[in-house]
Amino acid sequence: MLSRWMSGSSRNLDREYNCTVRLLDDSEYTCTIQRDAKGQYLFDLLCHHLNLLEKDYFGIRFVDPDKQRHWLEFTKSVVKQMRAQPPFTMCFRVKFYPTDPAALKEEITRYLVFLQIKRDLYHGRLLCKTSDAALLAAYILQAEIGDYDPGKHPEGYSSKFQFFPKHSEKLERKIAEIHKSELSGQTPATSELNFLRKAQTLETYGVDPHPCKDVSGNAAFLAFTPFGFVVLQGNKRVHFIKWNEVTKMKFEGKTFYLYVSQKEEKKIVLTYFAPTPEACKHLWKCGIENQAFYKLEKSSQVRTVSSSNLFFKGSRFRYSGRVAKEVMESSAKIKREPPEIHRAGLVPSRSCPSITHGPRLSSVPRTRRRAVHISIMEGLESLRDSAHSTPVRSASHGDAFAGPGRSGRAESSERVAVIADENYSPADSVLPTPVAEHSLELMLLSRQANGAPCSIEEEKESEAGTPAAEAEEAGELRALCPGAGGLGAAQAEQAMVCLQSPRHGKPAH
């Protein structure tokens, strides 16, 4: 009997598990791992496949059966972290955005970061004013189709590409104008480099928002960037805390605390509430890792952190990678022939459907849009009289992007800053955490308002993913569109707010 048990145990340890990792260009890498394989083993396989040396900026993300997103921990067993049944489905994504992406040593690294920021732009994580949006889209167009050719690119050709959740004809014309007149002769690598330089100056560069509520019950998005901790509400950045001002982060249940020490010994505690305890723990771990990566001088300074004031209580966590300064020093020593880059080109993908019309606000009758927006606002009582109630200027959708440059963000800890002239509303913004049941109805309403498919089934029919991939994307893809209570009907039409990402025909995060 003992020998039978030992034999069964041995077979279990030798068991292999199939893993599929969706890459930034929406291709998929499939491999098998053993039960005791660590996250580092899978990550190294991926980086070898991609011929990537500057790999510390990247990570592997997955969604558990409760629709909560996680970053794969490299020091732990992959199988033990995956609560879902095999085969396992994950995504390769940028985890730590480079402080200066244009300064990355290798073109292959810049290309992968370009793909990630292109997703961020499409999904609404990266906000920008109209002129910046047009320039970024023109860079993408130049990188993907090359110089403007009247024989190949008829009138209105830019409308065939989808760069944003929603766009206007005016914006399409501006994109085409820049592409025709300003970017001729730029190679894909040059266009991507210019894209990175421009994106890095925007206020929301590197933002991966976590939906929360403040102590007054107002919706907010918390995010960790290369420059510090930010809180976004409506069209405002209500807090920006530099990394050297953050003294502690902890959580208890759904409550997240950020301790701040500023000049003249001024100390404050910011308190926010996540949708679930699991979402709060994920928020806390992301904060710990980002602060360690961007703030510390060397990885030997990393310490194990407790989520509670008492070290023996709560969760404990330790960042296990190198820090930004070490990564940059290591990159400077890279000496090899530049690896060949296989650009995705214009192949329609789950991530960036380059050859499909994006939804336009004008495609829905005005009376219907008003009814949809009012329905959404009635279902969001907690947002009344909040920062989202700031009146917005009635204008066409394409005129509503804004964001101060990086210099203002890095040099000042100004607590409140307008990051957009109007509230920007991505059509399919994806939340990184579970969404309440009523949010599904809001998502469908908002999709109808934006001219997108009206049911999840319609989207699934257009996807060729595995059941596990569909479950993962369903967890990543939920729209939150908080409206502003008390607005007039005309203003309400412009008052939907969303931050965040992925899907087919819409990128998977």
**Could you tell me the CATH number of the domain that includes residue 163?**
1.20.80.10
Domain hosting residue 111, numbered range? 101-126+128-200
Tell me whether residue 46 is in a domain: yes
The answer to whether residues 108 and 182 belong to one domain is yes
What token pair was written down for 50?
A: 């991609």
**Helix, coil or strand: residue 17:** strand
Share of the chain above pLDDT 70, in %: 64
The answer to whether residues 223 and 194 belong to one domain is no
Tell me whether residue 373 is in a domain: no
**Helix, coil or strand: residue 335:** coil
pLDDT mean over 77-98: 94
Q: Which of 8-17, 315-324, 438-447 has the highest mean predicted lDDT (pLDDT)? A: 315-324
Tell me whether residue 490 is in a domain: no
Tell me whether residue 36 is in a domain: yes
Which pLDDT belongs to residue 390? 23
pTM here?
Answer: 0.73
Phi (first) and psi of residue 173, to 5 degrees: -65, -40
The answer to whether residues 270 and 216 belong to one domain is yes
Residue type, 481: C
Task: Decide if pLDDT at 478 tops 50.
Answer: no
The answer to whether residues 306 and 214 belong to one domain is yes
Q: Greater confidence, 151 or 5?
A: 151
The answer to whether residues 196 and 293 belong to one domain is no
pLDDT in tens, 352-376: 444 333 444 433 333 333 333 333 3
Q: What angle do CA 202, 52, 116 make, to 5 degrees?
A: 30
Which pLDDT belongs to residue 455? 30
Task: Decide if pLDDT at 428 tops 50.
Answer: no
The answer to whether residues 75 and 39 belong to one domain is yes
**Helix, coil or strand: residue 60:** strand
Which pLDDT belongs to residue 47? 97
**Domain-terminating residue out of 282, 309, 332:** 332
The answer to whether residues 231 and 189 belong to one domain is no
**Domain-terminating residue out of 332, 351, 377:** 332
**Domain-terminating residue out of 200, 220, 251:** 200
- Whether residue 450 contacts residue 43, with contact meaning beta carbons closer than 8 Å, is answered with no
Task: Decide if pLDDT at 393 tops 50.
Answer: no
* Total domains present in the chain: 3
The answer to whether residues 136 and 187 belong to one domain is yes
pLDDT in tens, 37-51: 999 999 999 999 999
Tell me whether residue 426 is in a domain: no
Tell me whether residue 135 is in a domain: yes
- Whether residue 71 contacts residue 286, with contact meaning beta carbons closer than 8 Å, is answered with yes
- Where residue 262 sits, what CATH number does that domain have? 2.30.29.30
Q: How far is CA 389 from the centre of its chain?
A: 25
pLDDT mean over 462-488: 38
Q: Greater confidence, 276 or 416?
A: 276
pLDDT in tens, 313-342: 678 888 999 999 999 999 999 999 999 998
The answer to whether residues 190 and 154 belong to one domain is yes
pLDDT band at residue 446 using 50, 70 and 90 as cut-offs:
very low
CA–CA gap between residue 26 and residue 505 (Å, rounded) = 11
Tell me whether residue 402 is in a domain: no
Q: Greater confidence, 392 or 247?
A: 247
- Where residue 81 sits, what CATH number does that domain have? 3.10.20.90
Task: Decide if pLDDT at 7 tops 80.
Answer: no
Quick count: other Cβ atoms within 10 Å of Cβ 58?
A: 21
Tell me whether residue 283 is in a domain: yes
Q: Which of 144-148, 203-207, 263-267, 403-407 has the highest mean predicted lDDT (pLDDT)? A: 144-148
Q: Which residue, among 429, 502, 472, has the nearest Cα to 64 in the 3D structure?
A: 472
The answer to whether residues 76 and 136 belong to one domain is no
Transcribe 374-418 into DSSP letters. HHHHHT-GGGTTSGGGS------GGG------HHHHHH---S-EE
pLDDT in tens, 236-286: 788 999 999 999 999 999 999 999 998 777 889 999 999 999 999 999 999
The answer to whether residues 56 and 164 belong to one domain is no
The answer to whether residues 67 and 111 belong to one domain is no
